Amino acid sequence: MTAIDNLPPLREVIARHDLRAKKQLGQNFLLDLNLTAKIARQAGDMTQCDVLEIGPGPGGLTRGLLAEGARHVLAIEKDARALPALQEIADRYSGRLTVIHGDALQVDPLAHLTPPIRIAANLPYNVGTELLIRWLTPPDWPPFWQSLTLMFQKEVAERIVATPGSKAYGRLALLAQWRADARIVMMLPPEAFVPAPKVHSAVVHLTALPQPRYPADPAVLSQVTAAAFNQRRKMLRASLRGLHPQIESLLQDAGIPPTARAEEIDLERFCALARALQAARQGA
């Protein structure tokens, strides 16, 4: 029995349900329940929230979220082998855990969630990045979620929180920081997981802002940042040439030297450029 919930230790759960980690599902499990409770605490106060957890696996983080007081957890897991172990947790926390067997990239969880909603996950990195981009680019803002607490490969986490002038700075940083506050709240060494991955990991916590930090049309901003960072070593007057015949004067209008490179330009200036470009296209 473990101190946090009187359920058996995760090693025993994994052995009993034969949950040997499968590489193709990106399975690197967290077995230390003190650590999963600590990660759960990074999500903030969950007592009045529904928490969407993606990829619960044997349930380490799920148990952390429930022990830390989440009102209700909706967990989406692709691997059917994990379902009996998750059922034991659902039985222990009567009415507070719902499990959906499916692919998080296909399932729409909204029908099963009551706001306010927080999201927490330790996911395979490719799925995590794809979901993060989806969660950051809904048609309307604010989104359905209040906060995201997500484990990433350290290098991806650094790209999310990067600032101008750094190597990691690029489209992911701009996307995340335009409409959310993003910070790294924990670093984890490979040995924290079973089996241990090759890389270090980090937990990123993002809080949705009520509105974007600076006004800009999402599609135009995305077009500008894609063109700028696809040729990040070129001067902006060259990399953005295809966007508008008068790009040099639009750059100047936005307060950007035409000889600057993408990685030197902050979010505020990129938003100013997106607005100038949109106005020029509309003939303003």
For the CB of residue 101, give the shortest distance to ligand SAM in the complex, in Å: 9
What are the helix and strand counts (H, E) for the chain? 11, 9
3-state helix, strand, coil in the chain (%, to 5): 45, 20, 40
HSE at residue 215, side-chain half, CA atoms within 13 A, is: 4
Confirm whether residue 103 is marked as ligand binding: yes
CA–CA gap between residue 267 and residue 181 (Å, rounded):
13
For the CB of residue 54, give the shortest distance to ligand SAM in the complex, in Å: 6
For the CB of residue 28, give the shortest distance to ligand SAM in the complex, in Å: 5
- CB-nearer residue toward ligand SAM: 73 or 274: 73
Please provide residue 37's backbone torsions phi and psi, each rounded to the nearest 5 degrees: -65, -35
**3-class secondary structure, 269:** helix
Identify whether the C-beta of residue 104 lies closer than 8 Å to the C-beta of residue 76. yes
For the CB of residue 201, give the shortest distance to ligand SAM in the complex, in Å: 9
In the numeric block, which tokens belong to residue 14? 């994994």
Per-residue buried b or exposed e for 73-84, using 16+ beta carbons within 10 Å of the residue's own CB = bbbbbbbebbee
- CB-nearer residue toward ligand SAM: 36 or 239: 36
CB atoms within 10 A of CB 214: 16
Residues across the chain? 284
For the CB of residue 37, give the shortest distance to ligand SAM in the complex, in Å: 12
In 3D space, the residue among 153, 187, 150, 145 whose CA is nearest the CA of residue 49 turns out to be 145
Report which residue's Cβ sits closest to ligand SAM.
Answer: 55
For the CB of residue 104, give the shortest distance to ligand SAM in the complex, in Å: 4
- CB-nearer residue toward ligand SAM: 188 or 240: 188
Confirm whether residue 122 is marked as ligand binding: yes
Please report, as ranges, the residues that interact with ligand SAM according to CB under 6 A: 25-30, 54-57, 60-61, 76-79, 82, 103-105, 122-124, 127
CA–CA gap between residue 171 and residue 21 (Å, rounded):
33
Confirm whether residue 191 is marked as ligand binding: no
- CB-nearer residue toward ligand SAM: 126 or 230: 126
- CB-nearer residue toward ligand SAM: 32 or 266: 32
- CB-nearer residue toward ligand SAM: 3 or 80: 80
Confirm whether residue 28 is marked as ligand binding: yes
For the CB of residue 105, give the shortest distance to ligand SAM in the complex, in Å: 5
- CB-nearer residue toward ligand SAM: 75 or 251: 75
* Amino acid sitting at position 267: L
Answer whether the bond into residue 195 is a cis peptide, omega within 30°: yes
Binding residues for S-adenosyl-L-methionine are 28, 30, 55, 77, 103, 122
Residues tagged in the binding site annotation: 28, 30, 55, 77, 103, 122
